[in-house]
Amino acid sequence: MRICFKYQILHGNPLKNVLFSIQNKISILTLAQLPSQPGNHNGGGFRHEPPPAPPSASHHYLRSPRTCQCGFNDTAYLQNSCGPAMPFMTMIEQVLMSRLDITDGCRRAGSDRPPRRRSFDYIVVGAGVAGPILAKRLSDDPSKSVLLIEAGPEEPTLSSVPAIAFNVLASDLNWKYTTEPQASACLKKGGRCSWARGKMVSGSGGANGMMYWRGHPEPYDQWAELGNPGWSYEELVPYWERAENPVNRNLTTFRRFDTGNPLVIDHFPHKPAFADEILRAASELGYKTGGLREREHTGFAVAPVLVKDGQRGTTSRYYLRPAADRMNLQVLTNAVVTKVLTRKHPHKHAYGVKAVLKDGQEVEFLAEREVILSAGTLGSPQILLNSGIGPKDDLAKVGVLLVHDLPQVGRNLQNHVSIGLSVTIRDNFTEALTLEALNQYLQQRSGPFASTGLTQVTAFLETKYSKPGVPDIQAFIDGYSSYCVKHGLTEECSGSHAIGNCSQRRRLNLRPTVVTTRSRGYMTLKSNNPLDYPLFYPNYFSDERDMKVLIEGIKKLLELMDTPTMKKYDMRLEDETPIKECANHTFGSDAYWECYIRQETGPENHQAGTCRMAPDGVVDERLRVHGVKNLRVADASIFPVLTHANTMAPVIVVAEKAADMIAEDAKNGSSGEAYPGRWRPSEGPFGPHHYGHAAPSHRSWHGPPRY
């Protein structure tokens, strides 16, 4: 028996003859003597088999309509993180994974099976944030073939649900990197900081907080000033405007506002009431409480996020899935690219990649035009180094044959750095992921499942060290997150969020974060085994200015406690007793906070800079790797200077611009060939286009084409 309809039936499910109803309102899961289906039980996976898709006449290069067999190998992960709540949460997990309107199974392009063809025009490595954009844009030209390779599996269904997306970090879909020991930070953990990075289609974009901030223009202007023409903020704006589809024009910019673009930007349909109390307290301190964008970026706000109909938005969902049926686009999942294939004659150039498949088999794919690395700040330099492209002395130490001496590969490693402050307030309101909440989400796409709690509130603050009008602190506030429940029938007290058993007080976490980090680290290979994790040396606080800014950030956030609104809630630090490692310092002094920060360091997952874009860096202003033709990098690793907010929007603009440059170079017959920055898109790479306003530049420039 196989049924493919709106409330899809699960195969291989041990629960049989079950009628699952929610509040007697809606029957959402019926399992009636279903036969088990073979070959799909690893890692809690389920096979989705949607109904036939209607024919499409929009592109002549689409595959024929898919049948009920067009499903994908999904991944379950709540059992890794919900402890005693596992039985009920597993039931919720199965319900969500059975819904076609949530799984989106007919638009999944990824497959573990390598494509029959071995040669493509373009090979894009990494399907995180940048890769899906590049694959979609490059395959817009039906005469060009594109292979997108991802180390992890397809984006799991559960990661599309805001309340439980973070749980993926406790699973094997997280690379779970750790830094090498350092004497300046993360001392509570032996000097090793943990770095979570997504290992799946959508990458870390499938497990982050979804905040969509371009950030202050200053870092982008610095990019241009550092020898990268075309990368100033004003010159990047048209690429954002081509991508963004905000439901409200004031979410991202004061300028033009288009609909129909890929990235749907909105606020979550649900937030805890205390979010408004935080904003009220901020206004009492004189801060703006909304409208943070461009050069007016100081204040508090409920963050704009990538969300549509209560589901998380990723570049995979917004770019890749609509292109899933293209004949000229292949997406290979669970395949780790170990090196770029290069030849030295008649000149150094890339001609393909080598990858290890899920079954351990090694395969090679050839690129007729270019290889584009979008494997992220930690992945792209690793691939370059494994390919013999990097500092010759470092490569010699681990026995990697030198192809091209490029000293800056793996250098310039940057990351935002933070600290958590535990405070309590007089409130015991909690929200659980109950049957009623699930019903609300399935019917209305709202409620606790459609929210990340208080985490959606953020702030950009200026300390005494900042340039006027340029925030140097971003603050996050954690709390009021919905939690796993044991049985789903009542609102239970949260032992992890409230103090004690149904206490009248609850805990929040304030996280000031330095976004103008000046410390620089590096990464290098551990061995010549391309599957070994690299060695990461972040060098946090090697520039003492970062520590000074973070201490001031603590003081700025603690000012909230003195506002009338927060006094009403009796907000206070949970414990004003010095931690034992800092007992020789007076609590609250600068010396104490410095000691505390070094012990309890909270690095963010905003790494950047390891393939720096610069004349003396790793890539030029057209993202071509210096000294090796037909090879580019397009992800956060190319940032010369880390942006001043969450890195998703900056990576998106890099990918959008990269796609144009790649296509334009192909049209001009100069693919991968280094030459001074020429920009002549009065007729763009995909045909004539004229844009509403020209970006200020010394070149003739009319903005990117629209799609």
Which alpha helices (H) appear in 368-415, and where do they start and end?
A: 376-386, 392-398
pLDDT in tens, 447-462: 999 999 999 999 999 9
- Residue 636 identity: A
Q: What mean pLDDT comes out for the span 98-123? A: 93
Residue type, 423: V
Q: At 84, is the pLDDT very low, low, confident or very high (cuts 50, 70, 90)?
A: low
- Between 568 and 92, the more confident residue is 568
For 31, phi and psi rounded to 5 degrees? -120, 110
The least confident of 157-171, 384-398, 410-424, 682-696 is 682-696
Least confidently predicted of 125-129, 184-188, 235-239, 498-502 = 498-502
432 vs 614: which has the higher pLDDT: 614
Q: 175, 130, 655, 125: which is closest to 340 by C-alpha? A: 125
Measured distance CA(501)–CA(508) in Å, rounded: 16
- The amino acid sitting at 216 is H
| Alpha-carbon distances of 419 from 331, 656, 662, rounded to whole Å | 39, 33, 40
CA distance 351 to 370: 7
Return the pLDDT at 504.
80
- pLDDT given at position 138: 98
Check pLDDT > 80 for residue 92: yes
Tokens of 6: 């709106």
CA separation for the pair 382, 54 (Å, rounded): 42
**342 strand-pairing partners:** 350
Specify the range with the lowest mean pLDDT, choosing from 88-97, 170-179, 388-397, 500-509.
500-509
310 conformational bin, left if phi > 0, alpha if psi -120 to 50, beta if neither: left
Nearest Cα neighbor of 571 from 281, 335, 234, 200 is: 281
Cα–Cα–Cα angle for 252, 253, 259, rounded to 5 degrees: 75
Q: Which pLDDT band holds residue 430 (cuts at 50, 70, 90)?
A: confident
Average pLDDT of the chain is 85
Q: pLDDT for 582-616, tens place per residue?
A: 999 999 999 999 999 999 999 889 999 999 999 99
Q: What is the mean predicted confidence (pLDDT) over 356-366? A: 98
Q: Quick one: pLDDT band at residue 501, thresholds 50, 70, 90?
A: low
Per-residue confidence at 214, pLDDT binned at 50, 70, 90?
Answer: very high
Mean pLDDT, range 422-437, rounded to an integer: 87
Higher pLDDT, 255 or 617: 617
At 290-316, the pLDDT tens digits run 999 999 999 999 999 999 999 999 999
The pLDDT tens digits for 475-488 are 999 998 877 766 56
Compute the distance between CA of residue 278 and CA of residue 339 in angstroms, rounded to an integer: 49
Q: At what angle do helices 130-139 and 648-667 cross, to 10 degrees?
A: 30
What percent of the chain lies above the pLDDT cut of 90?
69
Mean pLDDT of 326-353: 97
The reported pLDDT for the residue numbered 28 is 39
Tokens of 508: 């929040």
- What does the alpha-carbon distance between residue 640 and residue 664 come to, in Å, rounded to a whole number? 24
Residue 577 buriedness (CB in 10 A; 0-12 / 13-18 / 19+): exposed
Query: What ranges in 218-371 are assigned the alpha helix state H?
Result: 218-225, 233-243, 274-284, 315
Specify the length of the chain in residues. Answer: 707
Distance, in Å, from the CA atom of 489 to the CA atom of 625, rounded to the nearest integer, reads 57
| pLDDT at 257 (0 to 100) | 66
Range from 74-83, 297-306, 415-424, 588-597 carrying the lowest mean pLDDT: 74-83
Give the pLDDT band of residue 498 (cuts 50, 70, 90). Answer: low
Burial of 519 (C-beta count, 10 Å sphere; 0-12/13-18/19+): buried
Mind listing the domains of the chain with CATH numbers? 1-103 (no CATH), 104-155+200-245+314-410+606-674 (3.50.50.60), 268-302+416-603 (3.30.560.10)
Catalytic residue among 270, 297, 404, 606: 606
pLDDT tens-digit map of 630-662: 999 999 999 999 999 999 999 999 999 999 999
Active site residue 698: no
Q: Check residue 317 and report its DSSP letter.
A: I
Q: How confident is the model at residue 270 (pLDDT cuts 50, 70, 90)?
A: very high
Q: What is the pLDDT of residue 703?
A: 44
Distance separating alpha carbons of residues 292 and 307, to the nearest angstrom: 19
Higher pLDDT, 377 or 50: 377
Q: At 502, is the pLDDT very low, low, confident or very high (cuts 50, 70, 90)?
A: low
pTM flag (> 0.75) = yes
The pLDDT assigned to 129 comes to 98
- pLDDT, residue 461, reads 99
**Residue 33: pLDDT band by 50, 70, 90 thresholds?**
very low
Quick one: tokens of 434? 């109950």
| pLDDT in the model for residue 63 | 58
The reported pLDDT for the residue numbered 25 is 36
Residue predicted with more confidence, 62 or 183 = 183
Residue 303 amino acid letter: A
- pLDDT above 70 for 665: yes
pLDDT higher than 80, residue 529: yes
Residue 487's pLDDT is 59
Rounded CA gap, 472 and 465, in Å? Answer: 8
What CA–CA distance (Å, rounded) separates 25 from 439? 8
Mean pLDDT of 97-101: 88
Please tell me the predicted confidence (pLDDT) of residue 350. Answer: 98
Q: Which of 669, 665, 696, 658 is nearest to 680 (CA)?
A: 665
User: How far is the C-alpha of 644 from the C-alpha of 641, rounded, in Å?
Assistant: 9
Report cis status (omega within 30 of 0) of the bond before 51: no
